[in-house]
């Protein structure tokens, strides 16, 4: 497989023999992580709300794909049952599914919009961990990676719900790391900065995406916007035995933006 932005010598078989589940893995950061994990030897399962439901996995850009609404417990429970039937177990869980927020004054934000952001970005971490914890414990070498955001540590005006959801994701990551350490399940997070993905348009406030890319890049000390492959590289490290005693950390992949 040819991976965009990843030379072959940077994709060793670090995950050989392991099974990984990536939510939101059809596009953007999730897809880049799924591709890199597969190229590094893992069996990859992708869960995404855009995929069709059913008894069998669906066509997917990488690995086997299953429909799942990560904010809905019944949907997550069904996914867990489907994955269990494959008999491959689970070693790595990547919680990448998320929704953005266009800049919204707090007095005009609806309860429905607030709840959707919190449910997809935070409630999903609880549900996915709850329903996939048994196979992760059974692995003896389990890893959970939560895709958080730099706004979780550096909030922005107009993004109250999104900032709150990502701060909660970071705190959830830390609490679970402590809780699950005894079970040899490591829990870490990644804080991407502005990343060139389809979701970026959700922050664009009606501007053209390329204009937004240029605007964000000008604010990054290293001078360029984050690529999905940059985040995938951090995820590969956290999923692998290179990070065997790393738990409870959240890595900033932001070109120095939050320093």
* Active site positions, annotated: 162
Contact, 21 vs 93, CB < 8 A? yes
How far is Cα 161 from Cα 239, in angstroms, rounded to an integer?
Answer: 29
Structure tokens at 218: 């000008």
| Contact status, residue 228 vs residue 27, Cβ threshold 8 Å | no
State the alpha helices, DSSP H only, in 104-223: 111-118, 124-139, 160-180, 209-217
CB atoms near residue 113 (< 10 Å): 15
Question: Is 239:251 a contact under the CB 8 Å cutoff?
Answer: no
């Amino acid at each position: 497989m040819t991976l965009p932005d990843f030379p072959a010598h940077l994709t060793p078989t670090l995950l050989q023999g392991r099974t990984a589940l990536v939510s939101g893995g059809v596009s953007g950061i999730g897809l880049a992580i799924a591709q890199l994990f597969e190229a590094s030897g893992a069996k990859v399962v992708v869960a995404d709300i855009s995929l069709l439901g059913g008894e069998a996995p669906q066509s997917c850009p990488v690995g086997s794909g299953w429909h799942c609404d990560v904010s809905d417990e019944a949907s997550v429970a069904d996914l867990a049952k489907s994955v269990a039937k494959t008999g491959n177990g689970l070693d790595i869980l990547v919680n990448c599914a998320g929704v953005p927020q266009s800049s919204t004054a707090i007095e005009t934000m609806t309860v429905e919009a607030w709840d959707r952001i919190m449910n997809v970005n935070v409630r999903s971490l609880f549900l996915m961990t709850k329903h996939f914890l048994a196979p992760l414990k059974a692995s003896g070498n389990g890893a959970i990676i939560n895709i958080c955001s730099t706004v979780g540590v550096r909030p922005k005006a107009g993004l109250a719900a999104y900032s709150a959801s990502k701060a909660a994701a970071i705190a959830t990551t830390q609490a679970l790391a402590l809780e699950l350490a005894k079970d040899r399940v490591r829990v870490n997070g990644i804080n991407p900065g502005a990343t060139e993905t389809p979701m970026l348009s959700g922050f664009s406030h009606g501007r053209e995406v390329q204009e937004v890319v240029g605007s964000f890049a000008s604010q990054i000390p290293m001078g360029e916007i984050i690529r999905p492959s940059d985040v995938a590289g951090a995820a590969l490290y956290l999923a692998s035995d290179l990070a065997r005693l790393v738990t409870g950390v959240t890595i900033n992949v932001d070109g120095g933006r939050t320093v």
